[in-house]
Amino acid sequence: MRDLTPVVDAAHAHGALAVVAADLLALTVLKAPGELGADVAVGTSQRFGVPLGFGGPHAGYLAVHDAHKRMMPGRLVGASVDAAGRPALRLALQTREQHIRREKATSNICTAQVLLAVMAAMYAAYHGPEGLRRIAQRVHRLTSILADGLRTAGYGLVHEAFFDTITVRCPGRAEELAAAARARRINLRVVDADSLGITLDETTTVAVVRAVWDAFGVPADLDVHELDRTSRDALPDELLRTSRYLQHACFQSYHSETEMLRYLRRLADKDYALDRGMIPLGSCTMKLNATTEMEAVTWPEFARIHPFAPAEQTEGYAELIGGLEAALCAITGYDAVSLQPNAGSQGELAGLLAIRGYHRSRGDAGRDVCLIPSSAHGTNAASAVMAGMKVVVVACDAGGNVDLADLAAKAEAHAADLAAVMVTYPSTHGVFEEGIVELCDIVHRHGGQVYVDGANLNALVGLAKPGAFGADVSHLNLHKTFCIPHGGGGPGVGPVAVRSHLAAFLPGSEAVPAISAAPFGSAGILPISWAYITLMGGDGLRAATIDAVLAANYVAARLDAAFPVLYRGADGLVAHECILDLRPLSAATGVSVDDVAKRLMDYGFHAPTMSFPVAGTLMVEPTESESLAELDRFCDAMLAIRAEIDRDASLLHRAPHTAEDLLVGEWDRTYTREEAAYPLPGQRHNKYWPPVGRIDGAYGDRHLVCTCPPLEELAEG
Amino acid sequence: MTDRIALRELEDHAGFRRRHLGLTDADRGKMLAALGLAGPAELVEQAIPASIRTAEPLALAGPRTEAETIAALRRLADRNQVFTSLIGCGYTDTITPPVILRNVLENPAWYTAYTPYQPEISQGRLEALLNYQTMITDLTAFDLANASLLDEGTAAAEAMTLCRRASKAASPVFFVDRDCHPATLAVVRTRAEPIGIEVRVG
């Protein structure tokens, strides 16, 4: 640990920016990176109550100053107001994101680690600033005592200033001492042959300190509490934190378990999740996340394993990971899988880097053109640019299919520098395109590789295999097809699957050292997908795919007359999702997709995907997990909304309706309160109330506020 | 007893299918009829192009019941050994307060929600994320933090490209302190090379 100010100043003097990676617990006692002049701060919030899980999932963080706010990657929550002027939150500055900026995007990050970020924030709310500081002080005290004990036995430290980590000099003995610690069920970090790293944490006990001493041959009569009286902090005075932190109400109000329990309940009650009803989001595959699948995630034997624990301690993980990789190969027809990418976007990048590595290994470094159809998800283009490729857009025909003539022409024109084509199958239009095999042939003939985005794999499992019909590489989304829950916006797992000629270029290879920090990415949630595949078996997975396709076609058939289905396959059927075209209706009535989406909330539904991949449309993916009753309830709601558009469109324009809207003040609208809140008969005994009305996103972007209001402001209010 | 069912059938190894799939056979019949299809085979034939369709069953073990699957996971778990890991490198053991473990991590109201694109029905997790952003900005003494990134390595790589965009310097060099976590450095190297950033360590 050292004062970084001189380094930061030197960087600034040369026109460079400074990034500081900082440990959040340490920052409760040490000066903050912002106070040292840094331009960006990064790190992980894992140690704020998120289990190790053999490497993940955990929430990484990134902080910037106002000057760089529009350049910041990832999701950003900001305050705004709703239609009645009430404070309300929503995602801010979305125009920065890759799904809008496509190949001009600077990051392909789509998701966050919401569930884990929520846990970390709640950990801070539960302990509060004083509690966090006490944890930090205890960890530091134990580290100082550990260091003093080692010194008494003649060991020196590489750094004399430290927080929770010491590097012990032990010339020629690192392996031997690490083995001695392992004999006491303790893992240390072998830095090199002559030094060992030891990092303590809030679970460290006096007994653990003694056991480490014992491994190093420190006399057994050394008294921890004796040393506690004489040991001195190893935090340099000039780096001690003097500024206050976490003074907001949310970090002051929930220190008792009763208050925390009720806060968590209160927040959860505001939200709509799969435990309330169907979430028919196209391209998101919101299927059941069965309880049995979730069970093992929090078992200590999976949750409390360090990603760099010795292999002999992680044989269970190795077998589970090997089994899952083999199953994914069997399902997709590929030869090798890497589970390291911890989101679909990262799997995409890993797949494209594998293609890049392959071309370069053959002396084809000039192959850097990536063909991408205009219907592709924006992330595809962003990933291609990050992999050092140039994007060439291929047109779609009137039926929404990739225009094979245009593809052939562009592949021909780029025969010398074609690296790859990136397509989604079935397409983002929700259609099984007939031309996919020919598409693969054309690209291969011109020296390119075929990347099939596995976002829609839920329509293929057991019926077709991308690795067998011509693709070279795919990423899969275990959080879609294989039942890992979405967590409110993360975690995800985005394995990359390849045919054998690309296997040498997967993450962990020389060409692609690491796509995620941990060797197996978010390993801690892999038991979910393993369990799903085991529970279903091959026939069950195939049956699920057929049901998913059946459900989508049933919804398409029921809604087509009211909201025309935009694209269909050759036989008039859709794949596992369907796009409802609202554009003619919008032009005629002024009702937007937003209006329909918000009105669905009054009916107790989450909206389908809006305006992707075609602006002015809704994309519905019911999945195999919904009952016919729920599918019908959704279709009934959509048809009732269609009738409302003709009867009184203000029902939609003013949706969603909160309880306050209906109860407080005069009622002066053209429809009744009953029509607003109970449009379907069943809702009287099962009503979800949106907690706020329609949110004004633009207002929030003009007045950007992305932190909790300070206490003083609340006091004034 | 002529209608005696074999034990193998009574054990119902494929029983989970009924829990995961929302449709009953009667539902399927109604839905297929509404589509004018004779059966699931016809649906598959019509929806999926013959050029890619496979009739071959998936070569997977199972199915197993929920109890059997938990037992199998238990056997795998027993082959992992929980040591006290003082390895560090950006990963430390932690105590998840049980109230948070049970009411967030193990609570479907939190884990089955989607990304808060529909903010009116996502105010709970948006508030929790605003708390997260506030926690990060406060502890780091910065103005603004995002609602989290994938891990520390990815965050460092994103920071690197942000610096590239924001810096006025012409140099393509991104200098990394040798004391940074090795895993962070590995991700930064992977992400730098294809876009022409030169990583120097010292």
* Model confidence pLDDT, tens digit, residues A589-625: 999 999 999 999 999 999 999 999 999 999 999 999 9
pLDDT band at A717 (very low <50, low <70, confident <90, very high): very low
The CA distance from A340 to A452, in Å, is 18
pLDDT band at B170 (very low <50, low <70, confident <90, very high): confident
Q: Which residues pair with A372 in a beta bridge?
A: A393
> Average pLDDT, stretch B132-160?
97
For A41, which residue in chain B has the nearest alpha carbon?
Answer: B140
Going by C-alpha positions, the residue among B178, B177, B172, B176 that lies closest to residue B193 is B172
A177 touches chain B (CB under 8 A): no
The answer to whether A131 and A202 have CB atoms below 8 angstroms apart is no
- What stretches of A525-604 show up as alpha helix (H) in DSSP? 526-559, 583-589, 593-602
Q: Say if the Cβ atoms of B47 and A549 lie within 8 Å.
A: yes
Q: Estimate to the nearest angstrom the gap between the alpha carbon of A8 and the chain centroid.
A: 31
For residue A626, with 0-12 CB atoms within 10 Å meaning exposed, 13-18 middle and 19 or more buried, which class applies?
Answer: buried
Q: Which residues pair with A169 in a beta bridge?
A: A156, A195
Whether pLDDT at B1 is above 60: no
**Residue of B114, B129, B150 lying closest to A281 (CB–CB):** B114
The CA distance from A185 to A172, in Å, is 22
pLDDT in tens, A691-704: 999 999 899 999 99
Q: Say if the Cβ atoms of B159 and A113 lie within 8 Å.
A: no
B71 touches chain A (CB under 8 A): no
Q: What H or E segment, with its residue span, contains residue B1?
A: none
CB proximity list for A672: less than 8 A, separation 6 or greater:
none
B199 touches chain A (CB under 8 A): no
Going by C-alpha positions, the residue among A162, A525, A214, A472 that lies closest to residue A342 is A525
**Residue of B120, B139, B150 lying closest to A598 (CB–CB):** B120
- Among B45, B95, B96, B151, which would you mutate to test the A interface (most chain A Cβ atoms within 10 Å of its Cβ)? B151
> Quick one: pLDDT at residue A610?
95
Q: How far is B77 from chain A (nearest CA, A)?
A: 5
DSSP state of A616: T
The DSSP result for B112-162, as a single string, is: TPPPSSSGGG-HHHHHHHHHHHHHHHHHHT-SEE-S-BS-HHHHHHHHHHH
B44 touches chain A (CB under 8 A): yes
For B151, which residue in chain A has the nearest alpha carbon?
Answer: A60
A257 touches chain B (CB under 8 A): yes
A557 touches chain B (CB under 8 A): yes
**Residue of B62, B70, B187 lying closest to A516 (CB–CB):** B187
A322 touches chain B (CB under 8 A): no
The CA distance from A287 to A55, in Å, is 26
Tell me the pLDDT of chain B averaged across its residues. Answer: 96
Q: Say if the Cβ atoms of B83 and A68 lie within 8 Å.
A: no
Q: How far is B95 from chain A (nearest CA, A)?
A: 5
Q: Which residues pair with B91 in a beta bridge?
A: B88
A208 touches chain B (CB under 8 A): yes
Whether pLDDT at A238 is above 60: yes
pLDDT in tens, B52-108: 999 999 999 989 999 999 999 999 999 999 999 999 999 999 999 999 999 999 999
The CA distance from B97 to A85, in Å, is 36
Tell me the pLDDT of chain A averaged across its residues. Answer: 96
> Quick one: pLDDT at residue A713?
61
Residues from chain B that touch A656, judged by Cβ atoms under 8 A, are 120-121
> Quick one: pLDDT at residue B132?
98
Q: C-alpha distances in angstroms, A161 versus A8, A140, A235?
A: 19, 11, 6
Residues from chain A that touch B161, judged by Cβ atoms under 8 A, are 73, 106-107
For residue B149, with 0-12 CB atoms within 10 Å meaning exposed, 13-18 middle and 19 or more buried, which class applies?
Answer: buried
DSSP state of A184: T
Residues from chain A that touch B71, judged by Cβ atoms under 8 A, are none
DSSP state of A222: -
CB proximity list for B22: less than 8 A, separation 6 or greater:
A547, A551, A624, A625, A626, A627, A628, A630, A631
Residues from chain A that touch B104, judged by Cβ atoms under 8 A, are 115, 118-119, 122, 264
A115 touches chain B (CB under 8 A): yes
The upper half-sphere exposure of residue A147, i.e. CA atoms within 13 Å in the direction of its Cβ, equals 29
The CA distance from B15 to B64, in Å, is 8
Strand ranges in A617-706 using DSSP code E only, listed in sequence order: 617-620, 695-696
Going by C-alpha positions, the residue among A56, A48, A42 that lies closest to residue A113 is A56
> Average pLDDT, stretch A400-420?
97
A458 touches chain B (CB under 8 A): no
The CA distance from B85 to A203, in Å, is 10
ipTM beyond cut 0.85: yes
CA angle A484/A457/A435 to nearest 5° reads 165
Q: Which residues pair with B85 in a beta bridge?
A: A187
> Average pLDDT, stretch A182-187?
98
> Quick one: pLDDT at residue A1?
82
Q: Which residues 271-290 of A are in CB contact (within 8 Å) with B? A: 271-275, 279, 281, 284, 286-290
CB proximity list for A601: less than 8 A, separation 6 or greater:
A272, A607, A655, A656, A688, A690, B118, B120, B121
B19 touches chain A (CB under 8 A): yes
Position A8: which residue type? V
Residues from chain B that touch A467, judged by Cβ atoms under 8 A, are none
> Quick one: pLDDT at residue B169?
85
Give the torsion sign (CA, B188, B189, B195, B201). positive
Q: Which residues 602-631 of A are in CB contact (within 8 Å) with B? A: 606-607, 610, 624-628, 630-631
pLDDT in tens, A414-472: 999 999 999 999 999 999 999 999 999 999 999 999 999 999 999 999 999 999 999 99
> Average pLDDT, stretch A537-552?
98
Q: Say if the Cβ atoms of B151 and A112 lie within 8 Å.
A: no
pLDDT in tens, A285-344: 999 999 999 999 999 999 999 999 999 999 999 999 999 999 999 999 999 999 999 999
Regarding beta strands B198-201 and B173-176, do their DSSP bridges make them parallel or antiparallel, or are they unpaired? parallel
The answer to whether A482 and A324 have CB atoms below 8 angstroms apart is no
Instruction: Please name the residue that has the structure tokens 């899952």.
Output: A324
Q: Say if the Cβ atoms of A17 and B163 lie within 8 Å.
A: yes
Q: Say if the Cβ atoms of B140 and A76 lie within 8 Å.
A: no
Q: How far is A229 from chain B (nearest CA, A)?
A: 24
Q: Say if the Cβ atoms of A540 and B100 lie within 8 Å.
A: no
pLDDT in tens, A484-534: 999 999 999 999 999 999 999 999 999 999 999 999 999 999 999 999 999
Q: Say if the Cβ atoms of A14 and B167 lie within 8 Å.
A: no
- What stretches of A153-184 show up as alpha helix (H) in DSSP? 174-182
Whether pLDDT at A716 is above 60: no
Q: Say if the Cβ atoms of B113 and A308 lie within 8 Å.
A: no
Q: Say if the Cβ atoms of B23 and A539 lie within 8 Å.
A: no
Residues from chain A that touch B103, judged by Cβ atoms under 8 A, are 261, 264-265, 268
Q: How far is B71 from chain A (nearest CA, A)?
A: 10
CA angle A451/A454/A458 to nearest 5° reads 150
Q: How far is A403 from chain B (nearest CA, A)?
A: 17
Q: Which residues pair with A254 in a beta bridge?
A: none
Give the torsion sign (CA, A199, A200, A206, A211). negative
Residues from chain B that touch A694, judged by Cβ atoms under 8 A, are 120
Q: Say if the Cβ atoms of B57 and A538 lie within 8 Å.
A: yes
pLDDT in tens, A656-704: 999 999 999 999 999 999 999 999 988 999 999 999 999 998 999 999 9
DSSP state of B25: H
This model's pTM is above 0.90:
yes
Instruction: Please name the residue that has the structure tokens 């119902």.
Output: B12
Q: Say if the Cβ atoms of A317 and B80 lie within 8 Å.
A: yes
**A219 is written with which tokens?**
């006399």
Whether pLDDT at A715 is above 80: no
**Residue of B78, B119, B121 lying closest to A606 (CB–CB):** B121
**Residue of A71, A119, A353 lying closest to B165 (CB–CB):** A71
Q: Which residues pair with A198 in a beta bridge?
A: A166
The CA distance from A581 to A593, in Å, is 9
Q: Reduced to 3 states, what is the DSSP secondary structure of residue B16?
A: helix
For residue A298, with 0-12 CB atoms within 10 Å meaning exposed, 13-18 middle and 19 or more buried, which class applies?
Answer: middle
Q: C-alpha distances in angstroms, A211 versus A177, A181, A196, A503?
A: 12, 8, 15, 43
List, edge to edge, every strand of the sheet that includes A19-21: A19-21, A40-44, A60-64, B144-145
Contacts of A262-268 with CB under 8 Å at 24 or more apart are: A263/A125, A264/A122, A264/B99, A264/B100, A264/B103, A264/B104, A264/B107, A265/B103, A266/B124, A267/B123, A267/B124, A267/B125, A267/B127, A267/B128, A268/B103, A268/B107, A268/B109, A268/B110, A268/B124
Q: How far is A433 from chain B (nearest CA, A)?
A: 8
Ramachandran angles phi, psi of B156, nearest 5°: -65, -40
Instruction: Please name the residue that has the structure tokens 């002080």.
Output: A137
